[in-house]
Amino acid sequence: MTANAKILGTGGYLPAEIRTNDDISKTVDTSDAWIYERTGIKSRRIAAPEESAASMAEIAAKQAIANAAINASDIDLIIVTTGTPDCVYPSTACIVQERLGIKNCVAFDVQAACSGALFSLSIADQYIKTGAAKNVLLIGSELCSRIVDWTDRGTCILFGDGAGALLLGASEEPGVLSTHIHSDGAYCDLLYCPNPQVEARNDKNGLGFINMRGNEVFKMAVTTLERIVDETLEANNLSKADIHWLVPHQANIRIIAATAKKLKMSLDQVIVTLEEQGNTSSASVLLALHQGISDGRIQRGQNILLEAFGAGFTWGSALIKY
């Protein structure tokens, strides 16, 4: 019998430093009012110099393992998604595997920018469905503050640091109902972060900062996410009323509100973390899922729609019965 990927536990980690809009207004020409009105963000977390994608991932992972009440040694696959890996290689997943003391499991990284959690979830689901893995640990860990140009008001206001983790296990009960992932490399130029050591693009001053044509990305995000909502509902033969919770990528409250409107949902049915976390890229959906589950809003048996859009462009969704 085909197994389902069931949520066993979630975890999250946010660094201690809180950087408010007012803090940013002291160094670039912006204001708390502009940022909050245009994005819904009030503050974001900033990692300390000694922290890394792997160190943050380790903390989130340990919480997910504890919440799942399984032994770390029962994990047979670790997937880490990050745009800010500790090293070019080894993968951050291998570093996390060592930090967790897990032997004899497979570990690899997935890169799909802000959609990384959905791409990883889709891979994890296939592994579990085919019987290739039983317990999959999936982690999004991002140090966006290290790749943001803190003199660029168009991007530095948006991003934050953090890690989210999800443990999926094989079950006979329904879990992940479907995943949907897409890519279109035609839009690489609208949102990218060069690798300063390789610098194949050679179009900036050798610095590895996020470059974004925000308004164009915004419009594409809204229309693309509306499409993927339809795709997800149709694939499951469900209607909008069957969705209990929307757990979106946390890029901009106006993008989130547009998707909620498309689903005829009020914002009360949406897990929103960006006011205090900003956009933590591939960690954001996992952090939001952890928030909704740990504060008791998301209940067993409910249907959750996860979605994300990011550089590439990449975009994805998942429908999960919790």
135 part of the interface to ligand ACO, by CB under 6 A: no
The answer to whether residue 202 is catalytic is no
- Asked if residue 34 lies in contact with residue 214, where contact means CB atoms within 8 angstroms, the answer is no
Count Cβ neighbours within 10 Å for each residue of 12-29 and write b for 16 or more, e otherwise.
Answer: bbbbeeebebeebbeeee
* Active-site residue identified among 21, 67, 211, 279: 279
* Active-site residue identified among 94, 105, 114, 156: 114
The answer to whether residue 249 is catalytic is yes
311 part of the interface to ligand ACO, by CB under 6 A: yes
Which listed residue (19, 146, 153, 244) binds ligand ACO by CB under 6 A? Answer: 153
The answer to whether residue 205 is catalytic is no
251 part of the interface to ligand ACO, by CB under 6 A: yes
Stretch that binds ligand ACO, among 84-92, 195-203, 228-236, 307-315 (CB under 6 A): 307-315
Token pair in block for residue 151: 């003199």
Find the helix or strand (DSSP H, E) in which 316 lies: strand 314-321
Neighbouring CB atoms inside 10 A of 204's CB total: 15
The number of residues that bind ligand ACO (CB under 6 A) is: 24
Stretch that binds ligand ACO, among 84-92, 129-137, 163-171, 308-316 (CB under 6 A): 308-316
82 part of the interface to ligand ACO, by CB under 6 A: no
CA distance between the termini of the chain: 20
User: How do beta strands 43-46 and 4-13 pair?
Assistant: unpaired
Task: Name the minimum Å distance from CB 44 to ligand ACO.
Answer: 13
H helices of the chain, in order, are 21-25, 32-39, 53-68, 92-100, 116-129, 214-236, 253-262, 274-277, 284-294
Which residues are identified as catalytic? 114, 249, 279
Binding site for ligand ACO (CB under 6 A): 30, 34-35, 38-39, 113-114, 153-154, 157, 191, 214-215, 217-218, 221, 251-252, 255, 279, 281, 309-311
